[in-house]
Amino acid sequence: MVSAGDFRNGLTLEIEGNVYQVIEFQHVKPGKGAAFVRTKLKDIKNGGVVEKTFRPTEKYPQAHIERSEMQYLYSDSDFYYFMNTETYDQISLTSDQIGDALKFVKENEMVKMCSHGGQIFSVEPPLFVELQIIDTEPGFKGDTATGATKPATVETGAQVNVPLFVNQGEVIQIDTRTGEYMKRV
């Protein structure tokens, strides 16, 4: 059990049957009245953010989030298939469960499955991926000084803005959290 006075950023809690992660917290001691803790909580199953206040003495159980490495195998029209590389167990998730998590992930790459109580609620791609550009306008010599970008399509089908000097067929590194171009590889 964790008391509200001990909240920290990133802490996961079970509150009223839902699992929340503390995004932001602030201990408030008004001049008049009792102290309280003002928080922003993210519902980890549906992604919604709520603001709640707690008395510092309130206690909630800490939620244990399990992260396991799995290999992304392939997708068909309705499902995405993953395999545990140690036990060779396979699972499938719907496109609603996946969301945008795999737009930068190629088949046979490793991802992290986040689950609580045996129920998978999200898929975390690697932080950085290297993908080949399959379609973009050609670059010209001298296109490095302006800092301008152009749209490019990578091999997974996702769109990325890249500097003007990057050409079709080159391999680039992408930050999957922001979807931004990092560098040429």
Does this chain's domain 2-60 share its CATH topology with 66-124?
A: no
pLDDT, tens only, 70-116: 999 988 878 889 998 888 888 888 887 777 778 888 888 899 888 88
Quick one: 60 exposed, middle or buried, by C-beta within 10 A (0-12, 13-18, 19+)? Answer: middle
Q: What are phi and psi of 100, to 5 degrees?
A: -95, 5
pTM over 0.75: no
Superfamily designation of domain 66-124: Nucleic acid-binding proteins (2.40.50.140)
What are the residue ranges spanned by the domains of the chain? 2-60, 66-124, 128-184
Residue 19 has a pLDDT of 87
Q: What CATH topology corresponds to 128-184?
A: OB fold (Dihydrolipoamide Acetyltransferase, E2P) (2.40.50)
Q: Among all chains, which residue has been given the structure tokens 């986040």?
A: 114
Residues of the chain whose pLDDT is less than 50? none
Q: What is the CATH number of domain 2-60?
A: 2.30.30.30
Query: Is residue 10 within 8 Å of residue 34, measured between CB atoms?
Result: no
Q: What number of other Cβ atoms are within 10 A of residue 107's Cβ?
A: 12
